[in-house]
Each structure stands twice: as C-alpha cells, then as structure tokens.
Structure 1
Amino acid sequence: MPLPPPTTTVRASLNAIARHSALNAFVSVAPESHLLAKAAAAEARIAAGSPLSDLDGRLIAIKDNICTPSPLRTTCASKILGNYTSPISATVVDRLEAAGMITLGKTNMDEFGMGSHSVFSSHGAVKNPHDSDLSTGGSSGGSAAAVAAGICDLALGTDTGGSIRLPSAYCSITGFKPSYGLLSRWGVVAYANSLDTVGILSRNWRDARSLFSLLSAAPDTLDPTSIPRPNPKIRSSSTLRIGIPVDYNLHELDDRVRSAWIRTLESLSNAGHEIIPISLPNTKHALAAYYVLAPAEASSNLARYDGLRYGLRSEQDRVNGTLFAGTRGEGFGEEVKKRILLGAFSLSAGKMDNYFIQAQKIRKMVQDDFTAVFGRDEGDASQVDVLIAPTSPSPPPKIAEVADAHGTDGYVADVLTTPASLAGIPSISLPVEKGVGMQVMAQWGGEEVLWKVAEGLEEAGGIYQLETSE
C-alpha cells in the first residue's frame, strides 16, 4: 500500500500528538511551519521521481538524549539541562535528514537514560498507549509510546542495558539494538560510553532494517568507536540453528512470557529450523556486573554538569559563592544521584578492585559465553546462528508498582537484556503478543541473520500486529 503524501502525514501526526497528549511522549515538537516546509520539499522530490532515499519524507521522533539543533531542545529529561539547545546535531540525525527524513520532535525518557520504566523524568512519566496504568518501559519510553500510538512509524532511541528492547516489548513494537560501534554515537549524550548504542524503534522490522542500512552505510570519523559494517560468515543454509539459552528460563519468568516463548520456538521449528538448547552460564552474573559498570561510567560522564558552562545554575551557588553543590543537588533527580553515588563508590581507591575490576572480568566471561555458542568460523560444529529468549521476564508492570520500588528492585526488568549489552552484540525485540517481546541475538556484526529470523517469524504468523488505532 503506498504511503500518504508527507504533508498529509505531518498534519496527521501533529493531530495525533495533540490527541495523545496524556501519553507524555514528547518533550518538544518542531513548529508546524518547519515540518510542512520539509514535507512539501520531500513531496516535490518524490513526485519528480528523485527522492533522496527510500525513507525520503518519512517522519521520525528522536530520543531527548540525541543532540538536535534549534528549534528542538536536548534536555535528557533532566532539570539540569532545562531548556538547553545543542549547538550541534548528532551524526545519526544529520544522516537521516540528509536522506530526506523529517524530525518530528524529541521524545521523553528516563533522565540521562537511567531507568527501565520512563518514570524518572523531569517532564513526568510516559504512559503506555495500550493501558495508561502500565509501564511503557525505559529508558526510551517516549520513542516507544510515539511509535505504538501511531504518531510516527519510526523513532531513534538509545540502548545501554535494554533501553530500546524493553519499551518495545512493553509497547508491542519492534526494537532494534545493533552491534556496538555500527551506529555513530557522536552527538549522543553519554551515560556509559562502553555500552551506549543508538538503535531504532519501529512498527515493523522492515522499517528498522531500512533505517539501519541508511545510518550504518559508512563509519563516522567523529566517533572513535565507530566501526565499518562487517560481513561475518553466516552458514549458507535455508534453515537456521536456533540456540535456546536455558539460563534465561528463570524461575521468576511469568507464565504468559514462558508460554509465548514456547509458541515462538514451535512456530520456527515447524518452519524447519533446528532448535538447540545451549548454556550461557555467566548470564546470572550479568545484571550485577552491568549495575557496577554503567553507574561507574555515568559518575565520570556526569561530572561535567556543574552549571558553570551551560545548563542550570542554582541560586544557592550564585548567592553563597559555592561552586556547584547546589546546582547538582537541585538539577539531578533522585535516581541519577543514586547511580552517581554507586559509581563513585565502585571507583573509589579502596573498592575499585572488588567492584569495578571484578565487573570487567564478569563482562569478559559473558562475552566469552556468546563467542562459544556462536562459534568462531563457519565450519564450527558447535555454532548456532541466533539465540532466542524473552525480552523481559514479565509483561509490563503497573507504573505505581515500579515508581514505588525500593533499592535495586526496579533493576530486575533488565535481567534478560543486559547480557547482549555487555557483549556488544546485536539484538532485536519482536512483539509476539500484546506486551510480550522475544529478543533475537546474533554474533557481533550479524544483523543480517536477525532480519532472516524476523521474516521467518512473520511468515509463520508469530509476530503481533498492532492495529493503526492502537
């Protein structure tokens, strides 16, 4: 079915933002005149048969920690950045706009990406489009809500430990975290540099594939971690060897999620794919290691927010002549403060060996687990092509429950997503029923096999289809 003209899409999306304002999905929206001018230009190019790309004229929402130029702000959903407007735009934003895509606005999120339910935002919590009492997931909750509500077909998010995949599962859409290094992080506000990954949220996996191809076409010289897209060896077979990590079959796994996992595997088995139980024994340590490493990096990255150069400057610091104690106390939310303290503690002289260094060793063990099951070359008899497991141990919980979680209770939603993040491997969450996603993981650089699984699952009727009105 042909897409409607871009100007029609812009008007419909602006109406949808107003209609779904209670979702609190957007932090800022581009002016209507700006959007319509961009849409008219795209419409003219398409009519003339000279579109800039296959995505020319398509609307996209951008997570609020990815820098965009005026008129859009970049606040990271934090009071400390307030009305900050970035003087630069991220490489991924430049590339999508060079391809003719239209940036609709910036989406709400957990402050600086620190959260699993999009409740830790200075702009207020994001609501799930399917049930406003339920968590939308985090930290890319605004992007997920915008896509799930039909405001736009595509959105950019960031995934540090599951921040794209978890909200995608909760909102019944596709969430794709590519291999670390394949999408530029230049212009992305850092949370944890060695883990942060730009990714894509979409209403279908084909749109995610198209946008990934566009954004990963060439490495970015501005990003020292940017790597050319590889061509890994994948077995030349019409059927796949699908690994089932038995360590992901947690006792705490919700019955509905476990049943959906079984149905997914059955549909792929019926299509001729081989199902192979495998072990990733260090999975049980991944969550703890992640919550040492990510806060440690965050405590260093967030040291720059002192109100002296940009952002909030506390009146207390102005009046009393203090340097930045008041500014950071007022500017950061409670969850961010907690993670800064956790990170500073694990990096302190007396604790670094027992926490940060040990967590790095665990990370290497997790990476080795994945290397062992994917094999090192095409002829490795132990090789599996992909792994399939639930994205989250449960369907979306109630917002009231997660907002009142104590200590580290709010972190358990990430238990199944952090291993792939620690290993830097690609993972895509596909909706298999409302509120339940299955993540497909491949070796580093193995994105192509993820699309193959998505297509096979779609053909088998195993992907949940959102209605346009949802």
Structure 2
Amino acid sequence: MSLSKHAKSYLINQSKYAHLNAFVSRVEPSVLLARTGSSRLTSEGEDGRLVLNDKPIAIKDNICTKDFKTTASSGILRDFTSPYDATVVKLLQDAGAVVAGKTNMDEFGMGSHSTHSYHGPVKMQRYEDEEASAGGSSGGSALAVASAQCWAALGTDTGGSVRLPAAYTGVVGFKPSYGLLSRWGVIAYANSLDTVGILGTSATSVEAIFDQLNLYDPQDPTSLPPSTRSRLGSKARASDSVRIGIPLDYNITTLHPIVRNAWVRTLKALHERGHTLHPVRLPATQRALSAYYVLAPAEASSNLAKYDGVRYGSRAEGIDGTPDSVLFAKTRGQGFGPEVQRRILLGAFSLSAQAIDNYFIQAQKVRRLVQQDFNKVFATQNPLLDETTHAEETEEKVDVLLCPTAPSLAPSLSDVKAQDPIQAYMNDVFTVPASLAGLPAISVPVPIAGKDRTKENEEFSVGIQIIGQYGDDKLVLDFAKELEVAAPCPHAGIKIDTAEEVSRRS
C-alpha cells in the first residue's frame, strides 16, 4: 500500500466518522497528505521497534499545542491558543510524528463518558439506531483510534480516563507510572493524579510512543529525575513464567457476567501458556473510589480558581458580578459546565475548615492504605520507598495483577443521560486504585466468546487491565503483548473500516 493511500484512508475515515464528534479540530488534509505521502515511512527502525516518523497522532484537547486551540472542551477556554507545545507534543514532533488534531473530551477531564463537553458529546455508533458511550474523559482520543481516524492518540488519565475509554472502544490504553511522562503543558485537573496516557491499536504501537516520551523534563516539577529512573524495573520478564495476581476484592457483585466470564477465560488462557495464578487481597481498594472523589475535586477546585476571565479564560459578555457576588461570578457560571461546577463545589467543601479533617485528611489516609496494599502483594520493592522499609510479608507475591478495566460494557448514551452522577462515578471503580498509587496500568481488549457471544455483541470486546509495581512499565507493556497472543481480539470494539480496507477500495 502506498503512503499516499495510507494517509488518504485516515482522511476518508475522518470525514466518514465526523458525526461521532471525536475531533474538535483537525490538521489540514494537504498537510497530512504531504507529510505521510512523500517521506520514506517505515514500520520498523534498525532495532526492530516501530518508528513514529510521519505517523498521524491525535492529541487530547487539554494538552497544549500552538497550532491548534486548546480548550479542554470548556466554554471558558473556547478561544485559547497556547503559545507553546506541551513537552509530550514536542517530543512526538521531534520523532517525526504528525499531530492529526485535537480530540474531544469531558470538560477539564471530569467525567466517565465524554458527554460533559462544550463541543457536544462523543458518540460511539454501535447499532444504526443506538449511540453508546466512548468512555471518558479521553473518549475522543480512544474513538479516533478505534475508527482509524489516526494511528494513535495521547490522552490523560487521572482516575481511569485513558483505560476506561480504551475498554469501551476496544483499543489499548496505557497509563504509565506517575512522573515518567512530562505534564508540562498539560492543563491540570488533579496534580497528584494526572498522567499523560497513550491509546493505540496494539501494545507494540503504544510502547513505541512511550519509549519516545519516557524522558526526564526539568520543566515539570513532578517529572522523575534520572537518579530515580535508573532504579526502576523488575527482573521479571513476560517471556518467563509470570506470577499473576487475581485481586479477589475486584470480583464485586455488580460485575457484569460477560465481563466476569472474559476475565476468567483470559486467566485460563494465560495459565495454559505457563503463567501461574495467585489470589490476592487488596482490602483498602474497596474505599479507593470514595477517597478519589474527595481528593480529585479538592485539587480541581484549587487548580480551576485561576479561570476567572481576568487571569485566564474568556469573560462573559456584559457586566460581571453584583454587589452581592464576586467580580467573576457570571464568567465562571457561564464558562464552566454543570459537572465541573459540581466538582468545584465538592472540592471546596472538602477543603473547608469544618470538613477537611473528616474528608480530605481521611481520604489521604485511605490513599496511603491503597498504596500499602499494592506494595504488600508485589514481588518487586517499590523503588520510591526507602530500601530499609520492608513491606509486610504475605504468602503470595506476584509480578502483575490482572482484573477487568470496567465493571460493564459500554452503556448507551440514553442510559448515561438517565444516570445520576454517583452511578457515573462507579465506572471508575477498577481504574482508580492504580491511579491513587501511581502505578502503571494498561487496558487490553479481549473478545467476547462462548455463550456470551451473540449477533448483537460479536463486534464488541471486554477491557482487561494489567497493573504492575511502580516503575515496572516495561513488564506491563510486555505482558500486554503476551495477553494479546493468549486472547487475541480481532475486533476493534466498534465495527469500522480499517485504514487498510479503505485504502484497498480507493
């Protein structure tokens, strides 16, 4: 297939699936055709790894780009264009990648279905008469990859915002260890949780991007320094017999039977390939979701205080404020959507003098317990801990944990609209614990099979999540490739034309 046809296929799909609202802005077609149609694009470098030269990669709309507006899908930033590129964008461009455009998202990353957007909801078309959730908040990035509108995409993951959309759309979504990928130029939601994530059609393509972005950035105060990076990584390898932990606390009563069956079937497939299975307990994870929805809104209420139309953001028209309100009341009331307003209020309350001890401080204690639970079950010592600090000994020590990414398949948008906020928050129950602990985690699609497979869902998949110890990102990525072999998923979650199919027809 010629390069020009390959580029043309992405453009055809961008036009064909424009109604899905995955993109809020796109690169000019002539630029994409010129870049990907005239160079010596190769799939592998000299070391056999994928190269990014001239690959079209979409960027989530809360990651700054100077060539496209960066709105974070919020009305208050509707006219903002960054004077600089985020570090991760610059690194991709240095590697020769083409920024394909900016993708739709939940406003400021707050949501689980990419419906809370100034640009309108992201829509995943599963049936002719039904639109389903693409997950959130990186739903636009995930859907852009799933519908072959780009080769890969960047998102951000605060409590599962890359992994949940990956599970719903049938792509691979990776959240690296906190601090490995630069956050400089990323609009903050919750500083202690935000992580740039990667979405692709395979673990191999995701790893190629991770290798390019996994660098220390002195501009980012949360970026892990080289001295600490040198201590990362375990001796375990996916090619050996990996000890797989089965977190029994994730087998909740509300877990959908199709998801549970896919989880069990995946474990059996990996066991048949020589890996060993070990039940483990993570009791504090049962309180992780509650802790997250105290901590994240608290940090968000502080981060979003600067958007007042004076320092940052667009001002509302007319007179703003009254003698009984602050100067920017009208601007913030009109600029922020209802979900952002809700979380600002939640965060401001939990940080108030009368509530901070009972909410924010208690949530921080739960976060520490969640981290300790993970440290107790992993065979590798957490490299961020003092070497003299020994985790409590347990009978089982494992290399990775394997569990579902989401408790159910993607709901319809009509069901999402009928949900109250608490129901929507429950979608993050399996992704939040790894975020609180800052651990690497990846969602890999596995097919629905056996009695669960019907004519209606045969194109769907279930997201299975691999979680590793802090710094074991390479092991997590390698084991994701092993999972892809053990439980291959031929479908992309939604029935679309691949780039190759479009090119063949053209």
For normalisation by structure 2, the TM-score amounts to 0.87
Residue 304 of structure 2 corresponds to residue 328 of structure 1: no
Counterpart check, 1:38 vs 2:39: no
1:78-108: CA deviation from partner (whole Å, max 9, x where unpaired): 1111121111110000000000000010000
- Counterpart position of 2:475: 449
Q: Percent identity?
A: 52
Gaps of 5+ in 1: none
Code of the aligned partner of 2:469:
Q
Preserved CA contact (<8 Å) 2:50 2:205: no
The residue number in structure 2 matching 1:424 is 438
1:399-438 → structure 2 map (5 Å cutoff): 399-433=413-447, 434-438=460-464
Q: How far 1:285 sits from its partner (Å)?
A: 0.1
Once the two structures are superposed, what CA deviation does each residue of 1:135-193 show, in whole Å capped at 9, x if it has no partner? 11000000011000011120000000000000000001100000000100000000000
Distance 2:358 2:338 in 1: 26
Q: Select 1:9's aligned residue among 2, 6, 19.
A: 6
- Map 1:3-82 to 2 at 5 A: 4-5=2-3, 7-39=4-36, 43=39, 54-70=51-67, 72-82=68-78
Match of 2:240 in 1: 238
Task: Work out whether 1:354 is the aligned partner of 2:358.
Answer: yes
Change (3 A) 1:319 1:160: closer
Match of 1:261 in 2: 263
1:167 to 157, 165, 168: 165
Aligned to 1:222: 219
**2:294 aligned with 1:292:** yes
2:73 partner SS: coil
TM-score, scaled to structure 1: 0.93
Corresponding residue of 1:313? 315
- Tell which deviates more after alignment, 102-111 or 303-312: 303-312
Encode CA deviations 1:196-249: one digit per residue, 9 max, x unaligned: 000100011100011101110x20010011114443232367111000000000
**Once the 2 structures are TM-superposed, how far is the Cα of residue 195 of structure 1 from its aligned partner?**
0.2
Partners of 2:467 and 2:199 lie apart in 1 by 16
Counterpart Cα distance in 1 of 2:42 and 2:209: 18
CA distance in 1, matches of 2:441, 2:13: 30
Task: Give 1:326 deviation, angstroms.
Answer: 0.3
With 52-61 and 361-370 compared, the bigger mean Cα shift is at 52-61
Instruction: Describe the SS at the equivalent of 2:278.
Output: strand
Alignment counterpart, residue 485 of structure 2, candidates 432, 450, 459: 459
Q: 2:320, 2:329 within 8 Å by CA — same for their partners in 1?
A: no
Q: Aligned-pair distance for 1:34?
A: 3.2
Question: Residues 78 and 314 of structure 2 are in contact (CA less than 8 Å); yes or no, is this contact kept in structure 1?
Answer: yes
Cα–Cα, structure 1 residues 115 and 88, in superposed 2: closer, same or farther, change >3 Å? same
Give the corresponding residue for 1:118: 114
Distance of 2:37 and 2:311 partners within structure 1? 39
Name the structure 1 match of 2:187.
189
Contact kept, 8 Å, 2:234 with 2:380, in 1: the verdict is no
Q: CA deviation at 1:392?
A: 0.4
Amino acid at match of 1:331: G
Of residues 307-316 and 293-302 in structure 1, the stretch that sits farther from structure 2 once superposed is 307-316
Distance in 2 between the 1:235 and 1:151 partners? 36
Counterparts of 1:377 and 1:352, CA distance in 2: 32
Kept in 1, the 8 Å contact 2:278–2:396? The answer is no
Matched, 1:469 2:466: no
Moved more, 232-241 or 346-355: 232-241
Whether the 8 Å CA contact 1:157–1:201 is kept in 2: the answer is yes
Change (3 A) 1:247 1:126: same
C-alpha distance in structure 1 between counterparts of 2:137 and 2:305, whole Å: 21
**Equivalent AA in structure 1 for residue 158 of structure 2:** T
Determine helix, strand or coil for the equivalent of 1:416: coil
- Aligned residue for 2:419, secondary structure, equals coil
User: Could you give the per-residue CA deviations for residues 29-76 of structure 1, whole angstroms, max 9, x where no partner exists?
Assistant: 1222333443356x15869x99x9811011100000000012x11000
Q: What's the counterpart of residue 348 of structure 2?
A: 344
Going from structure 1 to structure 2, the CA distance change for 1:44 and 1:402 (only over 3 Å counts) comes to same
How far the C-alpha of 1:457 sits from its partner, in A, is 1.9
Amino acid at match of 2:397: Q
Cα shift readout 1:272-299 (whole Å, capped 9, x = no counterpart):
1100000000111000000000000000
Contact 2:112/2:424 (8 A) holds in 1: yes
CA contact (8 A) 2:115 2:121 kept: yes
Which of residues 101, 106, 113 in structure 1 aligns to 2:102? 106
Q: Is the 8 A contact 1:130 1:171 kept in 2?
A: no
Corresponding residue number in structure 1 for 2:82:
86
CA RMSD in angstroms, aligned pairs only: 2.4
Distance 1:459 1:318, change over 3 A: closer
* Separation (CA, whole Å) in 1 of partners of 2:63 and 2:337: 19
Gaps of at least 5 residues in structure 2 are 383-389, 448-459, 499-506
- State the partner residue of 1:144: 142
Of stretches 272-281 and 53-62 in structure 1, the one that deviates more from structure 2 is 53-62
Q: Secondary structure at the match of 1:136?
A: coil
SS of the residue 1:315 aligns to: coil
Greater alpha carbon shift after TM alignment, 13-22 vs 260-269: 13-22
Alpha-carbon contact 1:240-1:385 (below 8 Å) kept: yes
Q: Deviations over 1:7-41 (max 9, x none)?
A: 43333222211110110000011222333443356
Question: Is 2:371 aligned against 1:370?
Answer: no
SS in 1 for 2:241: coil
Letter in 2 for 1:234: K
- Residues 1:77 and 1:248: Cα distance change in structure 2 (over 3 Å): same
**Number of equivalent positions:** 463
Distance in 1 (CA, whole Å) between partners of 2:381 and 2:300 is 36
Whole-angstrom distance in 2 between the partners of 1:18 and 1:193: 36
The structural deviation recorded for 1:317 is: 3.4
C-alpha contact 1:429 1:440 (8 A) present in aligned 2: yes
Q: CA deviation at 1:4?
A: 4.4
2:304 & 2:196 partners in 1: Cα distance?
A: 19
